[in-house]
A and B are shown apart, each in its own frame.
Chain A
Amino acid sequence: MIVEIGHYAVVTALLLSMLGVAAPIIGLKRKNAAWVQVGQRALILTFVLITVGMVAMIYSYLTEDYSVKYVYATSNSKLPIFYKIAGLWGGHEGSLLLWAWILAFYSMAAATLHWKTQPVVMPYLILMESIVLCGFLLLILFLSNPFERIFPAPLDGKDLNPLLQDPAMVVHPPLLYLGYVGLSIPFSFAMAALFSGRLGEEWVKVTQRWTLFAWICLTAGILMGGYWAYYELGWGGYWGWDPVENAAFMPWLVATAFLHSVMVQETRKMFKVWNLFLIILAFSLSLIGTFLVRSGILSSVHSFAADPGRGVFILGFVAFMLLLSFGTLILRSAKLKSSVTIESVVSREAIFLFNNLFFLVALVTVFIGTLYPLLMEVLQFNKVSVGPPYYNAVFMPVALGLIFLMGIGPYIPWRKTTAKNIKELFGLPLMLAFGAGVLLFIFGIREEYALASMTVVAFVAAAIFIDFRKIALFWGKRDRVNPFLGFLSAYRRNPRRIAGLITHVGVLVMIVGITFSSLYQTEKILIMKPGDEVSLKSFQLRMATLHGAEGVNWEGKEALFDIYQEDRIVTQMRPQKRFYTVSQTPTTETAIYQTNMGHLFVTIPEVSPDGTWARVRVLHNPLVLLVWYGGGIMGIGGFLNIFRRDRKRSVVSVASGVTAKTAPSLASGRDGIVAQRSES
């Protein structure tokens, strides 16, 4: 009964989202704001109704109603409550519902928060969001209905995929969707800018925090997925360049490029079309990602079950969105006069362009790497695989170039610079970087990649440190406080810049982690019996026992390892080989011992049927924790940026007023500045 209520609620939500498409169009045609209001109300109600659908599904999970097919497929009475709820996004249908719900939430929030301040954008925003919602609700209701019943009702569920019974996996999909879907808001604003012809800086400024929030969620979601893969799949890596991972990484790359290039538009009013293109591309890539993951078109560990019907529908939808958005961009931008003013090739805006070039090349690398096997199949050539060795060879140099730019872009002045200036700015960091490289070489780092990446990291770190030191001393002296307070004072004066640099610090920390954990990983695979010993780096691992173990919904084997360091026992580790009885799936549970910032990592991927020996995989991953700590710092930088207090808001409007008056060539009558003034 409850499930049927949920079902009807979502059906009604679909009808309302159709109204959300129609109402703003009528409103625009008749120039009647009341219709736009109808659209907004429809959007809010859509959110409420999808929430009802979500609650109904969760209710049937909690009440163990296995007559609902999807609940039957992704849950079991033995599951802990936590995983019962998470079962909702443990499969294709439910995770789509979550997608739609998050989308509805974002739309509702944007349509409410900006209702007063952005009346011109509103109809287009409501229209675009409703279109996307409509597409996903159609897909849910007609091709992947989670509310479907089965008869007769099974007694118990088939269980949630054991690999997903994990805390990281519970939060990973919602975070990822918050990121994917969050990009729809700046996308809608961009489309509104295109439709309304207000291609000024306003949409960029308004959507900044939306983009940042989506970016943080996407970053966190990707890293969480990496952590999950790291200890749940049990091969000791966190990133396998799997098509599904790439599908999340591609929008991230474009969103990051976008976050950078909008700064040029804000300060120098350039690259308007480019920014529109980037945000459309970012959201399109999240839609394409959805298509790749859910159509079963690519071979991947994470893909959902294939169904050509779904694939065709999603592809149709993606095609519609791509053609609509890029088509509008082409038609509108053809009329836009470019207003580029570059004074020097060596200037911050120029470096931003190179930054974008590198991001684009990085994207292209991942994109063709992911789709190349598909292309070969379609062309009926020999089938090929593109795996980590390819990306290591091609992606990494490009990434290194990007990181190098991190040490230049933030310090080079806008507009132009002199040779003397450059020497002052980068002389010291370059010397420090060179020194660091030599030092690392002396300390026995011989891998070319490690040397290259650490030298670049040292360069960027030195540049950031010198900058931080300079502003801390300066403001400390000015405000007559110590340098630390001086730094805080500097932060208050320009929070955006410093938050951005903190994110850069996070990237550096992560790069150190990635470099060392991948290039200096040591690993052994061997067969061990109780009593056997193996040594890895400074550790001795002795398998004490190999015994049976069981949990609520699994049974299996556990190995007990005594870990010695210099003949002293430091810890015990208990890797397991589990067999989940309901779903009949084996899993490998990792045991991890933290040493400094690294991990000792033990799994037993295989235990002999008679239980006398186990195949053991032992790994030492130096500095691997820095990957996630770096991610954490990136997130902190992002949040500082979202919650920053902008100074001198009044100056902005007055100043842009001045701009509009005195620079008629820019304010071609449709410019955002004029719009802003007439609204305020």
Chain B
Amino acid sequence: MRKSFVLILFFLIAFSGVSFAEPQDDEVLQGRIKEVSKTLRCAVCQSESVWESNATLAIQMRKIVRERLIAGESPEEIRAYFVGRYGDYILLKPRVRGLNRLLWFGPFILLSFGGFFLYKTLRRWASKPARTEPVAFSPIDDAHRRRIEEELRSYNE
């Protein structure tokens, strides 16, 4: 049952031939429409924004965004209107709150902790005397490198 319901959604996207005459906008307004509708998900599409999608629902949503912008609403207010209807699902940019913070700060926390831990570990390793003699290093690259370095030095002089 659920499957055929999804099929209907596809059908809906496919036959979105409904037409609406709309006025032409100046570039500033269109830019603002783009800015807002790029952060909204087209509810019937699969991970497309309202700006990119050509589904009827997306076209209608763009129109609502446009009207609300003209009426003087802020992008935040417009997003709040859609969230009130479709829930957080409609936002392509999850709000920074609750568990979503994991999403927003997780990578940076990982990066800073990882970087710190790595630095500490490297320092610890570096302060330890090498357990093996230099032969442990692969002789090809190093010997070659040393030679290049020597030759470079003689070349620079």
Contact = CB atoms under 8 A, between A and B. Distances in A.
A and B touch in the complex (CB under 8 A): yes
Given A385-B94, A648-B140, A339 B107 contact: no
A326 interface: no
Interface stretch (A78-86, A142-150, A342-350): A342-350
Nearest to B120: A345
Interface in A652-668: 652, 655-656, 658-659, 662-663, 665-666
A549 B138 CA distance: 67
Interface in B2-49: 3, 14, 16-17, 19, 21-22, 24-25, 27, 30, 34, 38-39, 41, 45-49
Contacts of B107: 361, 364-365, 368, 394-395, 398
Contacts of A555: none
B70 interface: no
Interface in A474-527: 474, 477-478, 494, 523-527
B1 interface: no
8 closest A-B pairs (Cβ-Cβ)?
A387-B92, A389-B93, A605-B54, A235-B52, A342-B125, A655-B139, A365-B107, A341-B130
A328 interface: no
B71 interface: no
A358 interface: yes
Interface in B88-102: 88-94, 98-100, 102
Interface stretch (A37-45, A263-271, A540-548): A263-271
A341 B131 contact: yes
Interface residues of B, number: 68
25 contacts: A201-B138, A242-B47, A266-B141, A299-B47, A300-B46, A339-B131, A341-B130, A341-B136, A343-B130, A357-B114, A361-B107, A368-B107, A384-B91, A388-B92, A390-B94, A474-B151, A474-B155, A524-B30, A527-B21, A527-B22, A606-B59, A648-B140, A651-B139, A656-B138, A665-B132
A350 B122 contact: yes
Contacts of A243: 47
A133 B113 CA distance: 40
B93 to A, nearest CB: 4
A306 interface: yes
Nearest to B41: A385
Contacts of A478: 151, 155
Interface SS majority for chain B: helix
Contacts of B155: 474, 477-478
Given A267-B141, A364-B106, A655-B139, A376 B99 contact: yes
A386 B49 CA distance: 11
A234 B54 CA distance: 10
Given A341-B131, A586-B14, A663 B136 contact: yes
A542 to B, nearest CB: 15
Contact of A267 (B114, B126, B138): B138
A659 B87 contact: no
A471 to B, nearest CB: 9
Contacts, number: 195
Q: Considering residues B19, B107, B140, which has the most beta carbons from chain A within 10 angstroms of its beta carbon?
A: B107
Contact of A662 (B19, B133, B142): B133
Contacts of B87: 382-383
Contact of A387 (B14, B17, B93, B108): B93
Contacts of B81: none
A32 interface: no
A659 B103 contact: no
Contacts of A608: 19
Interface size class of A (residues with CB under 8 A): 35 or more
Contacts of B111: 357-358, 361, 398, 401
Interface in A338-386: 339-345, 350, 353-354, 357-358, 360-361, 364-365, 368-369, 372, 376, 381-386
Contacts of B53: 235
Contacts of B89: 382-385
A584 B39 CA distance: 31
Nearest to B111: A361
Contacts of B114: 357, 360-361
Interface string B133-150: 101111111101100000
A588 B136 CA distance: 61
A666 B137 CA distance: 11
Q: Considering residues A243, A341, A470, A586, which has the most beta carbons from chain B within 10 angstroms of its beta carbon?
A: A341
Contacts of A376: 99
B115 A354 contact: yes
Interface string A250-276: 000000000000000011110000000
B21 to A, nearest CB: 7
Contacts of A390: 92-94, 103-104
A352 to B, nearest CB: 11
Contacts of B122: 342, 345, 350, 353
A267 B142 contact: yes
A386 B24 CA distance: 31
B146 to A, nearest CB: 10
Given A364-B107, A368-B102, A385-B47, A341 B125 contact: yes
A385 B93 CA distance: 7
Contacts of A309: none
Contacts of B85: none
A525 B137 CA distance: 61
A571 interface: no
Contacts of A267: 137-138, 141-142
A364 B107 CA distance: 7
A301 B14 contact: no
Nearest to A303: B46
Given A268-B138, A386-B103, A389-B38, A357 B19 contact: no
A487 to B, nearest CB: 15
A203 B136 CA distance: 18
A585 interface: yes
Contacts of A300: 46-47
